[in-house]
């Protein structure tokens, strides 16, 4: 049985539907990422899991217990907010200590001066716990500062510390890296993964950045327009997207899409070229997707285009080609050595391996196809 499960969650704000019958199961110790474009309802979903927002319909279960009607404070979850939501008037140490103070001390023990005197042992234990967490996150020198005196990355660590100081059932994180600069974001990505390995805890992570989802998660759930379109390990989703929307959203630069047609005999025709790919079914319009790294420059290539733009990333070069009949530019990933001679306006012939393509029907669903050599998909 999974540790957290959300069943048929439905939510709308007034007339606007935000979540339509969304279900998700999360196993213990998993790093699950919810990824989707801005405004697709990820935060709302996470807040429903936390209890900060009430669902219109559906259940939330944590460790087999139905918590749909239970308030957030009693669900034993910890959350890292996008804005960090640190208490500005408390020092870093006090911020991290707050969950302990609120949960482990009674009213008397929380009083400003008398509290520490009355429950000395409890306070010492809490201070030790805060010290340990600070040690783990390497923020010990910052403990006496106020949040206003910290950098973005340091604040992010304090927010993590406040979540970590207890042993919650799961850590919920709502785009915790979105306020950081690019370099720090990459660094914190690694740190978060490391932290997850060390704590062996359940992480539910929300982001609109597919790179974060691909790099950190055990499983990712792709959300769009209030639905979860596909759930699975990052690699599966990248290689084997269930629909055109998912294929387009995951991967950067975006997957190339070319309009095509299945002719009367089941052959796939692309930009006037009849390929050996066979599709079972009727004559229909289809979309072929192929990722930039699967397009190869080849003198004998069946397709050709004109170089319109080059993006040099150092290790790779992305070449944007204008191809007659294709609605958008086709992007090729090339090694720098290959691309040396390709100035703007050069004509390039290219091709792909028939096993590397994805086919989608007019509704965006995946189409199975066969290839004379072997069966794919």
Partner 1 sequence: MPQSRVYLWFIGPALLLMCVILLIPILIAGGLSLTDYSLGNTGASFVGLENYERIFTRSTYEKMFGATFRYVFVVVPLTVGLGLGAALLIDSLGRFGDLYKTIYFLPVMAALIAMAIVWEFAFHPTIGIVNATLERGCGTVLERWDWYAQGCERTFPLWLNDRDYAIWTVSFIGVWQGFGFNMVLYLAGLTSIPPSLYDAAEMDGAKSGWDRFRLVTWPLLGPTTVFVVTISFIRSFQVFDMVEAFYPQGGGPSKSVYVMMFAIYEKGIQQNLMGIGAAITVVFLAFVMILTLIQRWLVERRTHYV
Ligand X SMILES: Nc1ncnc2c1ncn2[C@@H]1O[C@H](COP(=O)(O)OP(=O)(O)OP(=O)(O)O)[C@@H](O)[C@H]1O
Q: What are the residues binding Mg ion (CB under 5 A)?
A: 43
Q: Does 157 bind ligand X (CB under 6 A)?
A: no
Sign of CA dihedral 229, 233, 236, 237: positive
**Binding partner of 38, given ligand X, partner 1, Mg ion, none, CB within 5-8 angstroms per partner class:** ligand X
Are the beta carbons of 297 and 341 closer than 8 angstroms?
no
Min. distance of Cβ 186 from partner 1 in angstroms?
26
Report whether 34 contacts 45 (CB < 8 A). yes
Q: How near is the Cβ of 29 to partner 1 at its closest, in Å?
A: 21
User: What does 13 interact with, of partner 1, Mg ion, ligand X, none (CB < 5 to 8 A by kind)?
Assistant: ligand X
Q: Which is nearer to Mg ion, 42 or 157 (CB)?
A: 42
Q: Does 247 bind ligand X (CB under 6 A)?
A: no
- Contact between 309 and 317 under an 8 Å Cβ cutoff? The reply is no
- Residues 18-47 binding ligand X (CB under 6 A) are 18, 36, 38-44
Q: HSE on the CB side for 57, CA within 13 Å? A: 9
**Pair 225, 246: CB distance under 8 Å:** no
The closest residue (CB) to Mg ion is: 43
For CA atoms 278, 279, 285, 288, the dihedral sign is: negative
**CB nearer partner 1, residue 179 or residue 306:** 179
**Tokens 């930009």 belong to which residue?**
271
Q: Write the CB contacts of 140 (distance below 8 Å, at least 6 apart in sequence).
A: 131, 134
Tell me the sheet residues that pair with 331.
320
Contact 181, 118 (CB under 8 A): no
Q: Which is nearer to Mg ion, 39 or 336 (CB)?
A: 39
Write the Ramachandran bin of 305: left for phi over 0, alpha for psi from -120 to 50, otherwise beta. beta
Q: Which residue is nearest to ligand X (CB)?
A: 43
Q: Give just the sign of the alpha carbon dihedral 41, 43, 49, 52.
A: negative
Rounded CA Rg of the chain: 26
Between 174 and 245, CB nearer to Mg ion: 174
Shortest Å distance, C-beta 20 to ligand X: 12
Helix (H) or strand (E) holding 102: helix 92-104
Q: Which residues bind partner 1 (CB under 8 A)?
A: 47, 50, 52, 71-73, 77-79, 81-83, 85-90, 98-99, 102-103, 146-149, 162
- To the nearest whole angstrom, how small is the minimum distance from the Cβ of residue 118 to Mg ion? 42
13 touches ligand X (CB under 6 A): yes
Size of the site for ligand X (CB under 6 A): 12
> Which is nearer to ligand X, 12 or 98 (by Cβ)?
12
Q: How far is the CB of 199 from ligand X (least distance, A)?
A: 25
Mark residues 179-218: x for contact with ligand X by CB under 6 A, - for none: -----------------------------x----------
Residues binding ligand X (CB under 6 A): 13, 16, 18, 36, 38-44, 208
């Amino acid at each position: 049985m999974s540790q957290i499960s959300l069943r048929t969650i439905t939510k709308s704000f007034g007339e606007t539907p935000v979540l339509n019958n969304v279900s998700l199961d999360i196993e213990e110790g998993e790093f699950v990422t919810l990824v989707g474009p801005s405004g697709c309802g990820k935060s709302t979903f996470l807040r429903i899991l936390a209890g900060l927002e009430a669902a219109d319909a559906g259940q939330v279960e944590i460790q087999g217990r139905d918590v749909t009607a239970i308030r957030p404070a009693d669900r034993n979850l910890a959350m890292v907010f996008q804005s960090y939501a640190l208490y500005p008037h408390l020092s870093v140490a006090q911020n991290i200590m707050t969950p302990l103070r609120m949960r482990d001390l009674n009213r008397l023990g929380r009083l400003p001066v008398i509290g520490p005197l009355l429950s000395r042992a409890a306070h010492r234990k809490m201070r030790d716990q805060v010290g340990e967490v600070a040690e783990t996150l390497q923020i010990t020198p910052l403990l006496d500062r106020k949040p206003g005196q910290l950098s973005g990355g340091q604040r992010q660590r304090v927010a993590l510390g406040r979540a970590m100081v207890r042993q919650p059932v799961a850590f919920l994180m709502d785009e915790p890296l979105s306020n950081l600069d690019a370099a720090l974001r990459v660094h914190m990505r690694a740190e978060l993964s490391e932290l997850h390995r060390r704590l062996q805890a359940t992480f539910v992570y929300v982001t609109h950045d597919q790179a974060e989802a691909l790099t950190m998660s055990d499983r990712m759930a792709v959300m769009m327009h209030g639905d979860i379109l596909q759930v699975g390990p990052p690699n599966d989703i990248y290689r084997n997207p269930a629909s055109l929307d998912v294929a387009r959203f995951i991967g950067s630069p975006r997957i190339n899409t070319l309009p095509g047609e299945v002719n009367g005999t089941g052959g796939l025709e692309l930009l006037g070229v009849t390929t050996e790919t066979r599709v079972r079914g009727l004559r229909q319009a289809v979309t072929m997707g192929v990722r930039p790294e699967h397009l190869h420059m080849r003198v004998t290539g069946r397709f050709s285009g004109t170089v319109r733009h080059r993006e040099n990333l150092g290790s790779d070069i992305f070449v944007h080609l204008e191809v007659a009949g294709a609605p958008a530019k086709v992007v090729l990933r090339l090694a720098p050595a290959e691309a040396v001679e390709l100035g703007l306006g050069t004509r390039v012939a290219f091709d792909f391996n028939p096993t590397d393509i994805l086919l989608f029907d007019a509704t965006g669903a995946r189409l199975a196809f066969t290839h004379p050599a072997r069966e794919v998909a």
